[in-house]
Amino acid sequence: MLTKGMAIELGRFNINVNAVGPSTVDTDMCADFLNDPEQRRREEEANPMKRLGTARQIGDAVVFLASEEAMQVNGHLLMVDGGLSVKAAQPEDHMER
């Protein structure tokens, strides 16, 4: 709602406001969490693409939203999550624990 509210308020100043929603990304910040092989497996298996995101993939989405190609994109949450946000939780997913 913050993204949408800011998009409405700042749009008149020709300022676009968008957000990026990543899933689990294999970065140093997640290293302790993902160093557990079973936890890594659960994260990968829960994702429809069966893999973790990368910092590069998230960065590419941010670059797109900051580019002229996205000038008409405003108030949007771009999910960069391999489809995790559209998948219903399954009993074997880590989200059920």
Say yes or no: domain 2-83 is CATH 3.40.50.720.
Answer: yes
pLDDT tens column, 60-80 = 999 999 999 999 999 999 999
| Per-residue confidence band for 87, with pLDDT thresholds at 50, 70 and 90 | confident
Q: What is the mean pLDDT of residues 36-50?
A: 94
- pLDDT score at 76: 97
pLDDT above 60: residue 96: no
Q: Where on the phi/psi map is residue 4: left (φ > 0), alpha (ψ -120 to 50), or beta?
A: alpha
Question: What's the CA angle centered on 65, arms 60 and 71, to 5 degrees?
Answer: 145
Structure tokens at 19: 């957000």
Cβ–Cβ < 8 Å for 25, 52:
yes
